[in-house]
């Protein structure tokens, strides 16, 4: 997918021709939708990125953007299960979480599922490489948009590890993407 996105207008034109031919259609129930971009080089996120969210969190609007990342292992498809890591699971002591092996001894207390939450975000997908891009040219580097689900383990984000957001936001499966990437021309 990265190579396709980096191919620019020629790649989009080829995809449009394939779509219009009608030859490459499958019934929805016969396919599993994966993340539209499953192997990104980077996932860069901006925290507290709109006023209402700051108000509902009862925090000051930041003067500088709060930047964090999601690891590629956090990315899953739009209908895949979000797996709560052992550290975020509530279980009966001695009951296996997966399979038949008992859970490993815990070094950290378990937090409740109420501390795992999610926020629907608009993801801008970069298709053209660049650095130190002028604001006036930024949209030239965006190929399209998709839905992202920013899943967070709030105790790991806010009460552990010196309030480093990365650890609470990048557990495996904590970044569902999709179901589609919409090109900027279609918006």
| 162, two tokens | 């010196």
The conformation of residue 76, written as its DSSP 8-state character, comes to E
The pLDDT confidence band at residue 177, using thresholds 50, 70 and 90, is very high
Cβ contacts of 80 within 8 Å, gap of 6 or more:
173, 176
pLDDT value, residue 94? 38
Name which of 82, 56, 87 is nearest 70 in CA terms. Answer: 82
What is the per-residue pLDDT across 85-142, written as a single tens digit (0 to 9) for each? 777 644 334 333 333 334 444 444 444 555 788 899 999 999 888 999 999 999 999 9
What is the per-residue pLDDT across 144-174, written as a single tens digit (0 to 9) for each? 999 999 999 887 787 777 778 888 899 999 9
- Give percent above pLDDT 90 in the chain: 43
Between CA 24 and CA 21 the distance in angstroms is 8
Q: What are phi and psi of 166, to 5 degrees?
A: -50, -45
Strands, DSSP E only, in 87-132?
A: 116-126
Between CA 116 and CA 89 the distance in angstroms is 10
Q: Which residue has the higher pLDDT, 164 or 67?
A: 67
Task: Please measure the distance between the N-terminal and C-terminal CA atoms of the chain and give it in whole angstroms.
Answer: 20
- The burial of 45, by beta-carbon neighbours within 10 Å (0-12 exposed, 13-18 middle, 19 or more buried), is given as buried
The CA-CA-CA angle for residues 119, 120, 126, to 5°, reads 120
Q: What mean pLDDT is reported for the chain? A: 82
Is this prediction's pTM over 0.75?
yes
The conformation of residue 109, written as its DSSP 8-state character, comes to -
Name which of 168, 171, 158 is nearest 82 in CA terms. Answer: 171
Please check whether residue 90 is in contact with residue 115, taking contact to mean a CB–CB distance below 8 angstroms. Answer: no
What is the pLDDT averaged over residues 20-33?
A: 85
CA 118 to chain centre: 10
Topology given in CATH for the domain delimited by 2-88+102-186: Fumarylacetoacetate hydrolase; domain 2 (3.90.850)
């Amino acid at each position: 997918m990265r190579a396709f996105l980096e191919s620019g207008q020629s790649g989009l034109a080829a995809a449009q021709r394939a779509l219009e031919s009608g030859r490459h259609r499958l019934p929805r129930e016969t396919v599993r939708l994966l993340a539209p971009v499953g192997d990104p080089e980077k996932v860069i996120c901006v925290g507290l990125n709109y006023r209402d969210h700051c108000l509902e969190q009862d925090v000051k609007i930041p003067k500088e953007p709060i930047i964090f990342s999601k690891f590629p292992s956090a990315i899953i498809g739009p209908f895949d299960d979000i797996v709560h890591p052992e550290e975020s699971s509530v279980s009966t002591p001695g009951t296996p979480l997966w399979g038949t092996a008992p859970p490993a001894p815990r070094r950290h207390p378990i937090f409740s599922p109420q501390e795992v939450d999610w926020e629907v975000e608009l993801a801008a997908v970069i298709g053209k490489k660049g650095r130190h891009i002028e604001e006036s040219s930024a949209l030239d580097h965006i190929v399209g948009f998709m839905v992202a689900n920013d899943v967070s383990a709030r105790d790991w984000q806010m009460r552990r590890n010196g309030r480093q957001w990365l650890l609470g936001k990048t557990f495996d499966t904590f970044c569902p993407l999709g179901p589609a990437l919409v090109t900027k021309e279609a918006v």
